Amino acid sequence: MTDPDKATFERPTRREVVKGGGALAIGGVLAGCSGDSSQKSLVAETRDSSTDTETSGTDAGTATSDGSYSVTMEPVGTVEFETVPETIAPFTADYIDMLVALGHGDAAQSIWYRGRYKTLHYEELDGVSIDLDGLTQLWNDGVSKEPFYEMDADLHLIDPNALIDWLGAWDQSDLTEIRENVAPFLGNLIFRQTDDWHDYRYYTLYEAFEKVAEMVQERARFEAIRSIHDDLVETVQARLPATEKRPDAALVFAGAEPEEFTPYRISGNGANKEHFHTLGISDAFSDTGIEGYSGSESLDYETLLEIDPDSLLLRYHREGKTREEFESSVLAYMKDHEVGSQLTAVQNDRVFRGGPIYAGPLHNLFMIERYAKRYFPEEFTETHLFNRDHLATIITEGIVE
């Protein structure tokens, strides 16, 4: 393996030569980027030769008097910047949603699979949008290195282990090549934590969001959006019914005319489940022996009826459609099904769309509101539970300090 320290510090970076500035491609020694335990023993440590300041693999960002700064995030470690990166290559939509929220949506260059990025919520925020077609789709029966060279991004906002261990698309040499020839990696897979290979720190949605805010130097925007989130959570939780009166839910993947269901656990870590936790929705699969998506098999109606959850959340299903369209198609099919019609969730009309799997902070706000109103319609009768105009202004105009 190429010595990463030697590769980093014995030559000027390509960014310095080509752009004369921008994101400084120093650091980001890849810790834990393959199944090889020797790789996982690497220390995420960098040294800025201009200041001779050593930064260990702690979980904090630092700034220097010359305006440069660093951001530290597992599993990569520390990446140092001279200025805010102008072009960023994310992988999953949760991180793109963070960039949009921080007013840097135009910096986003890529997504691993375009169809997994749900953007309907931007239509409710005046002036907030993203050019979905303009994002390079990285997954095309695999992940080629060529798009990374073509994008020539200042930073790859990607957990490198996702490319190796989740998708099995790259090996360590591929990561080293792109890091050295294009730009560093920085990121942590946050949408779930059911993978055996994810044995390093897991970040909650807002912990990861804060790291991205450090990366693009948008602390004020981050704090303002976190304040909206915290106020919404406090408001909602103060009005929830008693714990014993809250329903449980079976979160599953299902087709257009569902006959089989792949379970996805509400319990445990995962940014796309945090809104369910906020609402106190418990996991119907708890104590059943049924595992989450990473290691589970499909369930039929008979098995689901044995569990008989209070509600069903069908993921990857008609997220761009209205509730009425969902009811007239999917729910209607289940009501006509010989076994499905016996489910308590079906009989009580508590079958909902499961929401996006790659949920960022803006998704999260809309999901808290959506499920509060769906699960507890008698309690939450308002049209909106948070101020869209205020949020849109933060995103589009920023904060005057």
Kindly state the average pLDDT of the residues 148-167.
94
Instruction: Tell me which residue of 248, 203, 201, 235 sits closest to 350, measured CA to CA.
Output: 248
Q: Who contacts 70 (Cβ-Cβ below 8 Å, separation ≥6)? A: 27, 46, 48, 55, 61, 62, 63, 78, 79, 80, 81
Q: What is the enclosing helix (H) or strand (E) of 275?
A: helix 274-278
Are 388 and 124 in contact by the 8 Å Cβ rule? The answer is: yes
CA distance 172 to 183: 15
3-state class percentages of the chain: helix first, strand second, coil last, to nearest 5: 40, 15, 45
Structural domains of the chain in order of their starting residue, each with its CATH number: 4-217 (3.40.50.1980), 239-373 (3.40.50.1980)
Are 172 and 39 in contact by the 8 Å Cβ rule? The answer is: yes
18 pLDDT more than 60: no
CA distance 280 to 6: 50
How confident is the model over 202-248, as pLDDT tens digits? 999 999 999 999 999 999 999 999 999 999 999 999 999 999 999 99
pLDDT at res. 87: 98
How confident is the model over 54-93, as pLDDT tens digits? 333 345 566 666 789 999 999 999 999 999 999 999 999 9
How confident is the model over 93-131, as pLDDT tens digits? 999 999 999 999 999 999 988 888 999 999 999 999 999
Largest CA distance in the chain: 72
Kindly report whether the peptide bond that precedes residue 258 is cis, defined as omega within 30 degrees of 0: no
